[in-house]
Amino acid sequence: MTLTQRYISAILAGMLVGIASILYVKAPTQLVGAILFSFALLVVVVFKHDLFTGRVGFVYPYEKKTAQNLLFMLFGNFIGSLFVTSLFLLTNNFEPVFAAELLVQNKLTQVWYQTIILGMFCGFLMYLGVLSFQKAKNKALGGLIVVFAVVIFILSGYEHSIANIGYFVLAGSFTFESLLFIILAVIGNAAGAILLHLLHAFTKSA
């Protein structure tokens, strides 16, 4: 896959998460929203799109240009989510916007290290969801694990960096504080996924 193809794949993944973010804030209940959100990750794993939170855990063993590829992926995800949610704002559908505003306000009350820790737990679950789908002989079972991983991270209040981009766009929150929050979530997602991958690899190395 060329760099351009990977970048387009990352944008598509970001668009899917942006759509999932809209679905979540439009849903009548948090549980329904969490189930609907899982649609995005299911499509990502089925079509092998480049989603940062689904790929970052697999950086070991390190390959040339891995860091560069992850940065391109993250930027592509950002652009995709930004595009979809910004486009949705043109519909003047205010109900999900109000829900996003409340969601963002609650997120911004967190202390910085809380955001990183919540991001790590999300990273754990995203890594487990993607790995389970890859390894499952029964893809229906793998897909079910992906759904559970998403539902658990949402109902637990864990922080998904790409989803947060969508929420902040919908809420019209374009501040330095919002950007810092997303960066902290990115760090947490990466740390959680990579840590779990290394531990998993260690158990298989004997």
What pLDDT, on the 0 to 100 scale, is given for residue 66? 78
The structural domain count of the chain equals 1
pLDDT tens for the chain, 206 residues long, are: 787 898 999 999 999 999 999 999 999 999 999 999 999 999 999 999 999 999 999 887 666 677 888 899 999 999 999 999 999 999 998 888 999 999 999 999 999 999 999 999 999 999 999 999 999 999 999 999 999 999 999 999 999 999 999 999 999 998 999 999 999 999 999 999 999 999 988 887 75
Measured between alpha carbons, how far is 110 from 103 in angstroms, rounded to an integer? 12
Given the structure tokens 């790995």, which residue do they identify?
131
Segments forming the whole domain that contains residue 72: 3-204
The domain that contains 47 carries what CATH number? 1.20.1080.10
Determine if the pTM surpasses 0.75.
yes
Q: 36-41 contacts: CB < 8 A, separation 24 or more?
A: 37/150, 37/151, 37/154, 37/163, 38/146, 38/147, 38/149, 38/150, 38/151, 40/16, 41/126, 41/129, 41/130, 41/146, 41/149, 41/150
b/e per residue, 113-132, with b = 16+ CB within 10 A?
eebbbbbbbbbbbbbbbbbb
Q: What is the largest CA-CA distance in the chain?
A: 57
What pLDDT, on the 0 to 100 scale, is given for residue 2? 80
What pLDDT, on the 0 to 100 scale, is given for residue 4? 85
Angle at 129 between CA 197 and CA 43, to 5 degrees: 130
What pLDDT, on the 0 to 100 scale, is given for residue 1? 73
